[in-house]
């Protein structure tokens, strides 16, 4: 019994490692949380109408309000997609920030989104001149 | 209470006061998320403590399977329970931070999903332990299951580096304001010591329980 124990552990560990390698290896191809503008553009027309998540940066100068909708452009290094959303942007939404929008690409090439999520990056800075960014200034009562 | 528990508990309480002061007053608000950044000072340490505790469970599992010494099973018992506690706390903190910053309490992002798989796997092992009456079997089965479940720990850590996610990546050195880093490190020390304290307390309880069970 105890002679068999170590080999059994080794076999178990190798099986798990192989399974883990297989699932990790194919994970990024089959399971993506969001598509980049490049991927979404490249997969047309198959992606048209399908509910997907699109992730990228909000292009500087692209944000405008159109009635009750917010319209802006999501970009990556190579492509851009115009997004129209009826959802109220979270407080941190601004030009240049990372966003993830859920919705579908319409036949006119505009991505219609029902849900807008804002991404925070891994940098944690203090406000440069002692002032918070526009989005936050309203919520702070100090000085 | 053992000497180890007195020392880790005492130092943890001292550091906790300093860590809270640093996190709430010394550290500046963040440029874009203002005071919401302060959740990070306890969220990151709890994430580290949870993953470290599940790694203790892995070591304890291998230790039990290799030696069949009861001490390893006590350690496994302790680390499973403390790890699940920290994992649940981690998810609650993440939701509280996620709602005002991301705009959602929950989403099936790779990091969030992976943490859910990790916590539920180890919670399942706690359930398994509760259902097995024979102590030797309970120890061996839960040890084997813990080795399997541990695979979710490196996945949780690395997924943000290799997959598209809403959750931010690990912050490199220098990308954080030095006063925020001080608050983060103080709280990391505090929560690590509190985790060690909980593990020691739960270990003793596991030993007492088993002695009663075996009638020795």
CA closest to A128 among chain B residues: B31
| A15 compared with B151, residue with greater pLDDT | B151
* Class of residue B139 by CB neighbours under 10 A (exposed 0-12, middle 13-18, buried 19+): buried
Question: What is the CATH classification number for the domain harbouring B127?
Answer: 1.20.120
Q: How many independent structural domains does chain B possess?
A: 1
Please tell me if residue A26 touches chain B, with a CB cutoff of 8 Å.
Answer: no
Show the CA angle centred on residue A129, arms to residues A128 and A131, nearest 5°: 95
Identify the domain containing residue B28 by its residue range.
3-214
B176–A contact, CB cutoff 8 A:
yes
ipTM: 0.80
Nearest to B159 by CA among B170, B174, B148: B170
Residues of A in contact with B175 (CB under 8 A): 122-124
What is the band of B215 on the pLDDT scale with cuts at 50, 70, 90? confident
pLDDT tens track of chain A, all 143 residues? 455 666 666 766 776 676 666 666 555 455 688 999 998 888 877 778 888 999 999 999 999 999 999 999 999 999 999 999 998 889 899 999 999 999 999 888 899 999 999 998 888 988 876 556 554 444 433 33
CA atoms of A24 and A34, how far apart (whole Å): 17
What is the separation, in whole angstroms, between the first and last Cα of chain A?
72
* pLDDT, tens digit (0-9, with 9 covering 90-100), for B28-78: 999 888 899 999 999 999 999 999 999 999 999 999 999 999 999 999 999
> What are B83-117's pLDDT values in tens digits?
999 999 999 999 999 999 999 999 989 999 999 99
Domain boundaries, chain A: 1-31, 37-119
Fold of A37-119: OB fold (Dihydrolipoamide Acetyltransferase, E2P) (2.40.50)
Cis peptide before A83 (omega within 30 of 0): no
pTM listed for this prediction:
0.85
């Amino acid at each position: 019994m105890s002679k068999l124990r170590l080999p059994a552990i080794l076999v178990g560990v190798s099986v798990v490692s192989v399974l883990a390698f297989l699932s990790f290896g194919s994970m990024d191809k089959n399971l993506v949380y969001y598509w980049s503008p490049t991927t979404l553009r490249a997969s047309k027309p198959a992606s048209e109408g399908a509910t997907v998540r699109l992730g990228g940066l909000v292009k500087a100068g692209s944000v405008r309000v159109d009635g009750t909708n917010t319209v802006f452009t999501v970009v990556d290094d190579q492509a851009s997609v115009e997004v129209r959303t009826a959802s109220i942007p979270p407080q941190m939404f601004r030009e240049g920030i990372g966003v993830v929008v859920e919705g579908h690409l319409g036949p006119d090439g505009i991505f219609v989104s029902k849900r807008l999520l804002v991404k925070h990056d891994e940098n944690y800075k203090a406000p440069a001149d002692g002032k918070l960014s526009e989005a936050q200034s309203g919520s702070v009562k100090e000085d | 209470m053992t000497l180890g528990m007195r020392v880790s508990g005492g130092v943890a309480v001292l550091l906790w006061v300093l860590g809270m002061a640093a996190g709430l007053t010394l550290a500046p608000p963040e440029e874009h998320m203002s005071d919401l950044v302060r959740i990070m000072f306890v969220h990151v340490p709890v994430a580290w403590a949870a993953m470290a505790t599940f790694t203790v469970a892995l070591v304890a599992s291998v230790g039990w399977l290799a030696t069949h010494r009861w001490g390893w099973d006590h350690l496994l018992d302790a680390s499973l329970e403390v790890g699940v506690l920290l994992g649940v706390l981690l998810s609650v903190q993440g939701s509280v931070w996620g709602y005002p910053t991301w705009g959602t309490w929950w989403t099936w992002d790779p990091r969030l999903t992976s943490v859910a798989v990790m916590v539920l796997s180890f919670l399942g092992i706690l359930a398994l332990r509760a259902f097995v009456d024979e102590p030797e079997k309970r120890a061996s089965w839960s040890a084997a299951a813990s080795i399997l479940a541990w695979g979710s720990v490196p996945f949780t850590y690395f997924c943000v580096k290799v997959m598209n996610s809403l959750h931010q990546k690990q912050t490199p050195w220098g990308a954080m304001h030095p006063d925020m880093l001080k608050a983060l490190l103080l709280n990391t020390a505090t929560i690590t010591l509190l985790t060690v304290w909980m593990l020691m307390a739960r270990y003793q309880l596991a030993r007492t329980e088993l002695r009663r069970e075996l009638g020795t």
